[in-house]
Structure 1
Amino acid sequence: MTITARELKDRVIDSMNDHDLEATKQCFAPDAVYVGPVGTAEGRDQITWHFEHLLEAFPDLHITPWCKVPVCDPAISAVSEYVMTGTHLGPFLLPGGSALPATGHRIAVRVAGMCSIENGLIVSDREYYDQLELLSQLGLCLPQVVV
């Protein structure tokens, strides 16, 4: 039986909610590419590293899908919208390579993404969220502009 992109993306969401990085990793092709707001991860190891740091920063991370968008060919792609929630209890990697120490703040961030599969594994996964929404929930502020 052939797995659809929707079923595979649902496995990723379920394994992330279970905090099972090995199960998450097995959903991706060895040469898969993950693109998110903070950059690109290439290959299973880099993708797993990205998710590992996300779970380190938010050990109670939970993904709640709220819209699974129908696509033209569900055998090769899936589109999802969901809310990612958690408590910031560990270092969070920031753009530029620095890390924000734990703040204890709760987050609820809206995310949209699309994945494509080949041979029953994800080869491309793109997720989009508003970084300003996330960073402001963590207590960061934009610098004051003097006019």
Structure 2
Amino acid sequence: MSEMIDAVNAHDLKELTHCYAEDALYLSPSGKGEGPEEIVSFWALFLDAFPDLRLTPWSKFTHGDTVVMEWILTGTHTGPFLMPDGEVIEATGRGVTIRGCSSRVFENGLVTMHCIYYDQLELLIQLGARLVLPEHR
């Protein structure tokens, strides 16, 4: 179970791919991924945007084959960050600290379902992004 955290912190995408089952499903604010390669592509986008990214577990609860973990993600925004709508936030040089939670379901030692939850607004504010509301008509 710690292999995934170690792979993320080592920025080892090849090793991270080996953490997921062939039919794994990934859900996060960034989108939905199916299968190891597609799932790891989401991690790659974060590592491109935050090359010094560090995932620090805060607390963990295990029940059967399910692990729920609270964590803190830290990094410096020195690369392009792709938003779910396709917009790119260019590097700001700002540091971010994101609190989040994830659940992972394991089967035969591999992740079959990985759901990540974090406050997107918290991340955007730390990046200096401004929310622009549509004009009322």
Regarding TM over 0.5, the answer is yes
After alignment, is 81-90 or 37-46 more displaced?
A: 37-46
User: When you count strand as a share of all residues, which structure comes out higher?
Assistant: 2
CA contact 2:24–2:35 (8 Å) conserved in 1: yes
- Pairs within 5 Å for 1:15-54: 15-54=7-46
TM-score (norm 1): 0.87
Secondary structure of 1:96's counterpart equals: coil
User: 1:105: which partner in 2?
Assistant: 94
Return the structure number with greater relative CO, CA threshold 8 A, min gap 6. 1
Supply the AA of the counterpart residue of 2:50: F
The alpha carbon displacement at 1:141 in A equals: 1.6
The alpha carbon displacement at 1:53 in A equals: 1.1
Query: Following the alignment from structure 2 to structure 1, what is the Cα–Cα distance between the partners of residues 37 and 133?
Result: 39
User: 1:136: which partner in 2?
Assistant: 125
CA RMSD of aligned residues (A): 1.4
CA contact 2:57–2:72 (8 Å) conserved in 1: yes
Give the counterpart of 2:58 among 46, 60, 66.
66
The alpha carbon displacement at 1:146 in A equals: 7.1
Q: Verify: 1:13 aligned to 2:5, yes or no.
A: yes
- Note the residue ranges of structure 2 that are not aligned, 5 or more in a row: none
Query: Following the alignment from structure 1 to structure 2, what is the Cα–Cα distance between the partners of residues 121 and 95?
Result: 26
Query: Following the alignment from structure 1 to structure 2, what is the Cα–Cα distance between the partners of residues 62 and 95?
Result: 22
- Note the residue ranges of structure 1 that are not aligned, 5 or more in a row: 1-7
User: 1:5: which partner in 2?
Assistant: none
CA contact 2:30–2:42 (8 Å) conserved in 1: no
TM-score (norm 2): 0.94
CA contact 2:50–2:77 (8 Å) conserved in 1: yes
Q: How many residue pairs end up in the alignment?
A: 136
Which aligned segments of 4 or more residues in structure 1 are displaced greater than 3 angstroms? 144-147
The alpha carbon displacement at 1:95 in A equals: 2.1
Query: Following the alignment from structure 1 to structure 2, what is the Cα–Cα distance between the partners of residues 62 and 37?
Result: 19
Counting aligned pairs with the same residue, the percent is 43
